[in-house]
Structure 1
Amino acid sequence: MDGIASSVPLIARPSFDRACSFVPSEYVQAWEWFLREEQRGGLWDKLPHRTNADSPQYGHRLTIDSELFPVSRDSGIFWPGRGRVKHPHEKTFALSVHNSKRGAYPDVPPLYLEDGTWVLKYSSQSASVENWRDQDYNQKMINCMECGVPVGVFFATSAGYKVLGLAFVERYEPENSWFVLHGPVHKGGPDARFFPDMSYMKDAPIAAEFSGAPTNDEEKVRYALRRERIGQQRFRNQLFEAYTGRCAVSGCSVDEALEAAHIENYSGPKSQVVSNGILLRRDLHSLFDAHLISFELVRGDYQLCGSYLLQHTDYATFAGSVLREPDEHRLRPNARFLEAHRAEFDFSESRRHAEAVAPY
């Protein structure tokens, strides 16, 4: 999995229609099934491949040429084998993912965004799972990420499995071994909701990418990195102004020690806005990104909560510290993003406990 950490997603305008050219026809029919189930909105007592004949969902399973076609399997990341589907020689793609409350991976609920989309953090296949290498599940998710191919998403709730629909594998977060899924994806496209927000490039020199000149992958990577640097600098300047040049936790006012922390690392439109950021001292930023610290709402204030890993360190003194928010309400941290970060913090804590990670 080391190679994922440095990969740069290059698909700037992914779409359902574009993805159809990369996959077998059975995948397209399965995607249409996910779209129908998303619209129908019913809950599945069990995943489709385990649904019994006496279940009201039985008739909603996917059939292709009068034969049952699986859209799920017990493995969280699923792809139909070569005995059932003729996959392209170059790449094999994941077809669907699902979580399970009885599984080894705790749940992190989807984060619903103001633009009508949602983001779901999904654990990569762990090396501790028996036979995990046999089908190389993670590589199939990476293939989806690199080519802009969507996956179907089931999410387990206390009442049953909900079909969220289709999602793009937007990126991989190595610090917590998560694939970031962004949906819902529908037919047509490209969908503007999945475009990168490039408004901060308006004053940048026009590059070959905008002139219609052909570019190779190396040039695309350089451009993606340059675009990210420009956006990050703008984001940092705005947070410095909103937080009057002081860390929101420690009060540190040394410019060189301060960094712009994203609350939700979602990389599409609206991610580089002040309400999705906190100005933090560099070390606190690192802990925040690693989900070793987070914030919980206590009597109207957001207070810092820290991992048990930090209990014997100097950082334990920050526990309970109140997050200093900007005076202007529109510049304050987005409450939904803070709640989602706290859910991810809890997810990480449960994983650390399960793996018996020792405190520092």
Structure 2
Amino acid sequence: MDGIASSVPLIAQPSYDRACSLVPSEYVLAWEWFLREEQRGEIWEKLPHNIKADSPQYPYRMTIGSETFCVSRQSGIYWPGRGRIKHPVEKTFALSVHSSISGSYSDVPPLYLEDGTWVFKYSLQSASVESWRNQRYNEKMINCMECGVPVGVFFATSAGYKVLGLAFVERYEPENNWFVLHGPVHKGGPDARFFPDMSYMKEAPVAAEFSGAPASDDEKVRYALRRERIGQQRFRNQLFEAYTGRCAVSGCNVGEALEAVHIENYSGPKSQVVSNGILLRRDLHALFDAHLISFELVRGDYQLCGSYLLQHTDYAAFAGSALREPDEHRLRPNARFLEAHRAEFDFSESRRRAEAVAPY
């Protein structure tokens, strides 16, 4: 698929019920297992496929009939091979993913949102290998993203593995090689939490697009993108007003050089709100999105922290700069989103160091 970096969900209204028609029956049974374990809320001392018969958790493993059915494997991205079950000819989908508390993939904790959902950014397999999209593991995740098929999610903690439940693969973020998982997904039809909130359109007059004639797929796509652009302009205007037309770090007041920055770029409702944004100079925006700068709380104020990659550049002078926040409290950046971005910055920094990326 071209345009993999797009943050626009490929399935406008994904749903559990719709996905059931696209996968083998064993996947549906496995999804029901994930839903039960999400509700049970217990920590697995090991991934289910490693649980032995003498473990108290053994009765909670997934079975089909009298046979154990694996919902996990050692590989972070797992799908049962064609020797185990019969997959559709066209697509094979990932069944589950798990994070790790050791190894080359650092963990970024899930971000819990006000609408009751969570976002978990999960590393693609072997990010340093060229042609990653052609790798079998990542291909299965791409198939889930393209078709709106959920995956089961295990999150590693110091005590063991927590079953977060099911999540949609909402998008891929190329700056840090993350698949963005958005959950929890439950049984039923489309859930409004998993597609963009267009309620702001009630405030913006929009000309009729299709003149009463049936719309083609291309027309629908153009219309959706136009609505997104309108929402982005509204978001930018609100940030300009909240930050009085000045960059929140540099103080730059040249409008053409300033951009509206999403702290958390998830695609669900309420992403286009001032508390999920910062007004930054264009170059600082690029560094923020690439997790080369972030903000940390120091004695009650947020201060800029920069990657070691920037230590010999002009940007090193911004280290420790205070984030200038709006006077009105409700317009200030969401603290949870800033903390999540900082965790992602730390994740990226540790990976850059592990790969021995040289400073600029």
The AA in structure 2 aligned to 1:228 is E
Give, in angstroms, the shift of residue 129 of structure 1: 7.2
TM-score, with structure 1 as normaliser? 0.95
Instruction: Give the number of aligned pairs.
Output: 358
Question: Structure 1, residues 35-81: CA drift from partner, whole Å, max 9, x if none?
Answer: 00000011101101111112111111111122111100111011100
**In the alignment, what sits opposite 1:207?**
209
Structure 2 CA distance for aligned equivalents of residues 124 and 207 of structure 1 = 39
Cα distance, 1:310–1:286 mapped onto 2, change above 3 Å = same
Asked if 1:265 corresponds to 2:265, the answer is yes
SS at match of 2:21: helix
Give, in angstroms, the shift of residue 211 of structure 1: 6.4
Cα distance, 1:277–1:212 mapped onto 2, change above 3 Å = farther
Question: Structure 1, residues 310-356: CA drift from partner, whole Å, max 9, x if none?
Answer: 00000000000000000000000000000000000000000000000
**Kindly, what percent of the aligned residue pairs are identical?**
85
Structure 2 CA distance for aligned equivalents of residues 274 and 7 of structure 1 = 19
Asked if 1:342 corresponds to 2:320, the answer is no
Cα distance, 1:8–1:117 mapped onto 2, change above 3 Å = closer
Cα distance, 1:50–1:134 mapped onto 2, change above 3 Å = farther
SS at match of 1:4: coil
Asked if 1:296 corresponds to 2:293, the answer is no
Cα distance, 1:319–1:6 mapped onto 2, change above 3 Å = same
- Cα RMSD of the aligned pairs, angstroms, is 2.0
Structure 1 CA distance for aligned equivalents of residues 246 and 7 of structure 2 = 33
Give, in angstroms, the shift of residue 214 of structure 1: 4.7
Structure 2 CA distance for aligned equivalents of residues 176 and 220 of structure 1 = 30
Give, in angstroms, the shift of residue 140 of structure 1: 0.9
1:45-84, aligned counterparts within 5 Å?
45-84=45-84
SS at match of 2:84: coil
Structure 1 CA distance for aligned equivalents of residues 26 and 327 of structure 2 = 54
Give, in angstroms, the shift of residue 200 of structure 1: 2.6
> Does the CA contact (< 8 Å) of 2:96 and 2:153 recur in 1?
yes
Give, in angstroms, the shift of residue 133 of structure 1: 8.4
Give, in angstroms, the shift of residue 84 of structure 1: 1.1
Question: Structure 1, residues 179-198: CA drift from partner, whole Å, max 9, x if none?
Answer: 00000000012112113111
Asked if 1:188 corresponds to 2:188, the answer is yes
Structure 1 gap segments, 5+ residues each: none
Structure 1 CA distance for aligned equivalents of residues 293 and 66 of structure 2 = 53
**In the alignment, what sits opposite 1:226?**
226
1:20-59, aligned counterparts within 5 Å?
20-59=20-59
Cα distance, 1:214–1:222 mapped onto 2, change above 3 Å = closer
1:1-360, aligned counterparts within 5 Å?
4-6=4-6, 8-128=8-128, 136-202=136-202, 203-208=205-210, 213-216=214-217, 218-360=218-360
Question: Structure 1, residues 3-52: CA drift from partner, whole Å, max 9, x if none?
Answer: 52258533111111111111111100000000000000111011011111
> Does the CA contact (< 8 Å) of 1:10 and 1:221 recur in 2?
no
Structure 2 gap segments, 5+ residues each: none
TM-score, with structure 2 as normaliser? 0.95
Cα distance, 1:286–1:129 mapped onto 2, change above 3 Å = closer
> Does the CA contact (< 8 Å) of 1:176 and 1:348 recur in 2?
yes
> Does the CA contact (< 8 Å) of 1:303 and 1:321 recur in 2?
yes
Give, in angstroms, the shift of residue 231 of structure 1: 1.2
Structure 1 CA distance for aligned equivalents of residues 291 and 26 of structure 2 = 39
The AA in structure 2 aligned to 1:38 is E
Structure 2 CA distance for aligned equivalents of residues 284 and 120 of structure 1 = 24
Give, in angstroms, the shift of residue 288 of structure 1: 0.3
Question: Structure 1, residues 220-262: CA drift from partner, whole Å, max 9, x if none?
Answer: 4323322221111111000000000000000000000000000
Structure 1 CA distance for aligned equivalents of residues 134 and 52 of structure 2 = 28
SS at match of 2:108: coil
> Does the CA contact (< 8 Å) of 1:10 and 1:220 recur in 2?
no
Structure 1 CA distance for aligned equivalents of residues 358 and 252 of structure 2 = 30
Structure 2 CA distance for aligned equivalents of residues 134 and 142 of structure 1 = 10
Structure 2 CA distance for aligned equivalents of residues 178 and 184 of structure 1 = 18
Cα distance, 1:199–1:296 mapped onto 2, change above 3 Å = same
Structure 2 CA distance for aligned equivalents of residues 128 and 234 of structure 1 = 38
Cα distance, 1:11–1:206 mapped onto 2, change above 3 Å = farther
Structure 2 CA distance for aligned equivalents of residues 252 and 15 of structure 1 = 44
Structure 2 CA distance for aligned equivalents of residues 290 and 311 of structure 1 = 16
> Does the CA contact (< 8 Å) of 2:195 and 2:267 recur in 1?
no
Question: Structure 1, residues 98-156: CA drift from partner, whole Å, max 9, x if none?
Answer: 011122100000000111110000001115579x8896111111111111110000000
> Does the CA contact (< 8 Å) of 2:9 and 2:195 recur in 1?
no
Structure 1 CA distance for aligned equivalents of residues 133 and 114 of structure 2 = 38
Cα distance, 1:114–1:61 mapped onto 2, change above 3 Å = same
SS at match of 1:163: strand
Cα distance, 1:196–1:306 mapped onto 2, change above 3 Å = same
SS at match of 1:22: coil
